[in-house]
Amino acid sequence: MALEKLHGPLPRVAAIHDISGFGKCSMTVALPILSAAGLEVCCMPTAVLSTHTGGFEGFTYRDLTEDLPAFAAHWKSLDLKFSAIYSGFLGSPQQVATVSAFIDDFNSPDTLVYIDPVMGDRGVLYSVFDDAMVRGMRELCKKADVLLPNMTEAAFLLDVPYDEGPYTEDGLLKILKALADMGPKKIVLTGVSLDVDTVGAACYDAKTGEMSLSTEANVPGQFHGTGDVFASFCLAALERGMTLKDASAFAVALTRQCILRTVARDTPRREGVDFEGVLPEMMVRLGLV
């Protein structure tokens, strides 16, 4: 694009995630994906870990909850405005409350709040979480314009037993409506399938009552960090103007590409997926190159 057509800042995203030094997830996938999508990322690191907590032992964990109010106050003094506020893994109910206050401070009619209520997978909570965390997340979800839970997180948020699927369209609609009753305006529910051979996402817009399903052929196995990769692709697409339905299908397709590349590389699952190799395709699909 000609330089004279460029004007003003890129759309800004406040990304509120931990930094896990090894094992690609949270900030280390959100930042590169959103930057490659032409969004300016303002990083609010909630904690610094040597690795993520899923599949490693002996990791370090430096909690940064106490730093966050001063971070927010400095950003306020700079009069920063955000197109999106995007939160993911949070370490404690106190941290959830701090992020909730950040959203209240920085939300505006021009801001979309994206909440990935990272809490667990395959029916179980991550080892570092308990009931108090689930209660905290329920409160935070009320503030979401777009909520991005997986099936496990949906079950904990709704306090219903986890069902490993496959699901029916009616069953999915019931879950989506119950989640919408908690407050979020739009929902993208991941880990969804109508049969054993496919997997994808179901999205729901509370305003129209419309549900849409996007699935692709399932790749067996558990791949760490795919929830974060999915949410980041979905946010990128929505911020670049795609509809909810198209953004959801886009994120399903690209996340599957990451998984296929990881299977081909045969790297340990806990190290995360090869999202790097999918960035060029993402940029092409977004019309950026």
Sites of contact with ligand PXL (CB under 6 A)? 18, 20, 25-26, 49, 52-54, 89, 118, 126, 225, 227-228
Name the minimum Å distance from CB 273 to ligand PXL. 11
Q: Judged by CB, which is closer to ligand PXL: 46, or 214?
A: 46
- Smallest distance, Å, CB 254 to ligand PXL? 17
Nearer to ligand PXL, 29 or 199 (CB): 29
CB nearer to ligand PXL: pick between 88 and 286: 88
CB of 274 to ligand PXL, least distance (A): 16
Strand partners, 189: 202
Residues for the chain: how many in total? 289
Nearer residue to ligand PXL within complex by CB, 37 or 148: 148
Q: Which residues, including other chains, have CB under 8 Å from residue 65's CB and lie 6 or more apart? A: 46, 47, 91, 92, 94, 95, 98
* Cβ proximity to ligand PXL, 13 vs 27, nearer residue: 27
Q: Rounded to the nearest whole angstrom, what is the least distance from the CB of residue 65 to ligand PXL in the complex? A: 14
Shortest separation between residue 108's beta carbon and ligand PXL, angstroms = 27
Cβ partners under 8 Å of residue 188, min gap 6: 146, 147, 148, 201, 202, 203, 231, 234, 244, 247, 248, 251
DSSP 119-173: -EETTEE-TT--HHHHHHHHHHHTT-SEE--BHHHHHHHHT-----S---HHHHH
